[in-house]
Chain A
Amino acid sequence: MRSILHKTIHGLFLILGVTFISFLLMVWFGPDQTYTLIGKNATASQITEIRHQLGYDQPFTRRYLDYLVELFTLDLGASNSSGEPVSSILKRTLPVSLALMLPGFIIGNLLGIALGLVAAFRRGTWSDRLITGLSVTGMSISFLIIIIALQVLLSTPYGLNLFPARGWQVDGLSSYLAYVTVPTLSLIMVTLGYNTRFYRAVFVEESSREHIRTARAFGASPATLMWRHVLKNSLVPVTTRLMFSIPLVVISGSLLIETYFGIPGIGKVSFDAITSGDQPVLKAVVGLTAVAFVLIQIMADVIYRLVDPRIA
């Protein structure tokens, strides 16, 4: 209990840090918004007024506190380009991104765990060497190359032409499957190499421990060994891996995949905000994802205590 409290305080400091950095970059050092909002031929009084609205006449700490209040009340203002409130943009796009990224994230990790287990248990055999070799090959292919290649092979007349090349017109299961398949395959291919290698190392480390040798000596079957003794004892590094790959894979991945395939999710929204300099959207996305990630880390600590009684 005390350590959970400790973790929460630690998390609060992290939240202060990430919001401070995103405030510094996006608001304090960010470009002056005055003329984007009122155009070039403004009167002096209009300029003073809009600068007051934007808070430019306020001191540093006051503006940082205002930014924190905006983030925590989710009162994030409206997009500069469309005028739509940022909170409604997030509500509209977040489900799309989750529907797009989750299948690939889950399958990629499950396959990685399965291949990692196989490689760890047949350590040194040709199947281990094949799996590790393929992982290194996979790690050397750029995300962008995988996306382009899969798109050409699966959704253009130059390949099998099975799926729509881009877009997201989802109104049921079959259209969902049609649009989600190529992005999901790309995500799996780009993460599988890293996942397999990581999980293999975790499982190899765990299976070289004494208790595994003992269990083997007592005649536990390979399946029991893998499942009960290796996998269960590796839950902590596996959970950490999952938690930490959320910002890396899901958020960064959605930025690239949605931009490439023209899918209206949170990644596409952030990309558009980057290119058009839409500050209200950008600072909300950066601030909120960072805060969300810190919250996930705190939750992960609670989960560790639930899955692993060794951590007290």
Chain B
Amino acid sequence: MKTAPGHTWFKLRQDRVGLLGLAIVAVFFLLSLGVLFGWLGQGWSVADGGRWEPASVNHWLGTNLLGQDIFQRAVFSTRTAFEIGLVVSLLSTLLGALLGALAGWYNGKPGQSWVDGSILWLMGVLDSIPFYLFVAAVAYALQGWPWAMHVAMIATFWTTTGRLVRAEVMRIKSREFVLSARTIGLPSPLILFRHVLPNTQHILLVQATIVFVAAIKTEVILSFLGLGVQDGVSWGLMLAESTQEVLAGHFNNFLAASLMLFVLLLGFNLLADALQDAFDPRQASL
């Protein structure tokens, strides 16, 4: 069950750990905006240092194999992370909301329940293909196209959101306000998208933050496997570089990327928990 928006915000403000998460996310978001507007991290690809220089005034966190500044690269990667996270979480949440709502709406409608059946089938199919292999298959089919990773993530991450929205729509559509909307003769699409779907926004918001975390974590693995970010730099690519360096005792790349990644993910996880608690009193009491 959903609580009123004012109450949600009130509960969120009471949750200190959740606010800490929100603050972390906000700081990283500002960093990524700084990179986007060209104020920060612009020297990420300039190789003006020696190989594996230690930290110095010129290179705050030292340099990598090619003599590139690790600090600049770590900061620039914030933008890459937000780009991937936002694109994937927005589109997969949208897709999940749309298909989940349609499935829930047509569930049990005589003559039209095939809509529900096919969407459920699609979710089952997508959930049955092991994820990294699916990405590999998409990357293989799309050969070197830089958005292959995004497409693969969006195509698989929407199913959880879809299932949750479907269940919620099935619950909402028997409520009185939907019945009255139907009685006064509003067309089905209007009822579904204007009156039912907005009532699932609490699910969408929480799922979007969860998918954001999943997208960033997945990017790291895919970039290490060579299926992820094709050009530019990301924490995943930095970690992939560092896998060779740590064996030779150079830890700067590894430490910079993992620390940034860890703090941002922790922030998002804390925020997701706080949102969940604030929206859903039943879960919060667990």
Q: A interface vs B, CB < 8 Å?
A: 13-14, 17-18, 21-22, 24-26, 29-31, 136-137, 139-145, 148-149, 151-152, 156, 158, 165, 201, 204-205, 208, 244, 247-248, 251-252, 255-256, 259-260, 270-271, 274-275, 277, 279, 282, 285-286, 289-290, 293-294, 297
Contacts and interface: CB of A to CB of B under 8 A. Distances in A.
Nearest to A289: B130
A235 B145 CA distance: 44
Residue among B121, B134, B139, B251 with the most chain A CB within 10 A?
B134
A144 B225 CA distance: 11
Contact of A297 (B126, B128, B130, B227): B128
A136 B273 contact: yes
B181 interface: no
Interface stretch (B61-69, B100-108, B241-249): B241-249
A137 B270 CA distance: 9
A141 B216 CA distance: 11
Contacts of B82: none
Contact of B132 (A25, A136, A208, A252): A252
Contacts of B262: 140-142, 145
A293 B217 contact: no
27 contacts: A14-B121, A14-B124, A14-B125, A30-B140, A136-B266, A140-B268, A142-B239, A142-B258, A142-B262, A142-B265, A143-B220, A144-B220, A144-B221, A145-B258, A148-B246, A149-B258, A152-B246, A165-B247, A205-B286, A247-B129, A252-B130, A252-B133, A260-B243, A274-B139, A275-B226, A285-B133, A289-B129
B186 interface: no
Which 4 A-B pairs give the minimum distances between C-beta atoms?
Answer: A17-B125, A140-B265, A140-B266, A247-B130
A166 B266 CA distance: 30
A151 B246 CA distance: 9
A145 B262 CA distance: 9
Contact of A274 (B225, B240, B265): B225
Nearest to B267: A140
B133 A270 contact: yes
Contacts of A21: 125-126, 129
B143 interface: yes
A298 to B, nearest CB: 11
A144 B246 contact: no
B133 A204 contact: no
A143 B133 contact: no
A144 B137 contact: no
B239 A144 contact: yes
A83 to B, nearest CB: 20
B45 to A, nearest CB: 22
A247 B261 contact: no
Residue among A18, A30, A144 with the most chain B CB within 10 A?
A144
Contact of B227 (A144, A251, A274): A274
Contact of A158 (B224, B249, B265): B249
Nearest to A139: B269
B138 interface: yes
A143 B129 contact: no
A290 B125 CA distance: 9
Contact of A204 (B141, B243, B286): B286
Contact of A17 (B121, B227, B243, B249): B121
B96 interface: no
Contact of A142 (B126, B133, B217, B246): B217
B122 interface: yes
A252 B156 CA distance: 14
Contact of A14 (B128, B224, B254, B266): B128
A255 to B, nearest CB: 5
A56 to B, nearest CB: 16
A144 B236 contact: yes
A290 B130 contact: yes
Contact of B224 (A152, A256, A275, A297): A256
